[in-house]
Amino acid sequence: MNRRFCYLIYLLCSVIILLMSVLAIYYFFAIESFSSLVIASINLPIDWSSVEIWQWYLLLFLSSVYSSIGLMGVYFLRFSFHQFSQGEYFNLKNSQNIKRFSLFLFIQAAATPLHFALVSVLLSFNHLAGQRILSLSFGSNEIKSIFIAMILWVLATLLVEAAKLQTENRQFI
């Protein structure tokens, strides 16, 4: 059951990477759909009629870069789960991949306030002087993500030590 579950997570990570890539390409060609999604999901006092097409494309680019940080983490995480599904738990590759995942998770959590600040400035760029918006936020979700990233980093280091012990035990027997 454990190996099957790990393989399922591996497949899910692959699907997420593929789906997000397809969505980015889709939104590039259907920028109106992207703008509708943004308008429905961003709670800022933006004059949406003032946002021009170049701003939507720049926002799509910024959002793609921001999402790519998390997707890089998922990319490395899927390697670990693939090895877990094959019964390889304690090895250096798993540790490195989990460390990379935690690093990208940390970077994305730390970049979240900057990303949303850039989004607010970009979308209010055409507003009159004094009506432009700079929205900064750093909430509990970012703090949780940073702590999870640090915990995973430590656990990945423990995997290296476990691999050393496993190797020593094999040599002893």
What is the secondary structure of 51-97 as a DSSP string? --HHHHHHHHHHHHHHHHHHHHHHHHHHHHHHHHHTT--SSHHHHHH
Q: Is the pLDDT of residue 86 over 80?
A: yes
Tens-place pLDDT, residues 17-60? 999 999 999 999 999 999 999 999 988 888 888 899 999 999 99
Q: Is the pLDDT of residue 173 over 80?
A: no
Which pTM was predicted?
Answer: 0.84
Q: For residue 95, which of 86, 108, 87, 83 has the smallest C-alpha distance? A: 83
Predicted pLDDT of residue 168: 80
Which residue is listed with tokens 């290296």?
A: 160
Q: Is the pLDDT of residue 110 over 70?
A: yes
Instruction: Answer whether 110's CB lies under 8 Å from 146's CB.
Output: yes
Ramachandran angles phi, psi of 15, nearest 5°: -65, -40
Ramachandran angles phi, psi of 86, nearest 5°: -100, 5
Residues 6+ apart with CB under 8 A from 158: none
Please state, for a pLDDT cut of 70, what percent of the chain lies above it.
99
Predicted pLDDT of residue 10: 95
Question: What is the average per-residue pLDDT within 143-162?
Answer: 88
In the chain, alpha helices (H): 2-29, 31-41, 53-85, 92-123, 140-172
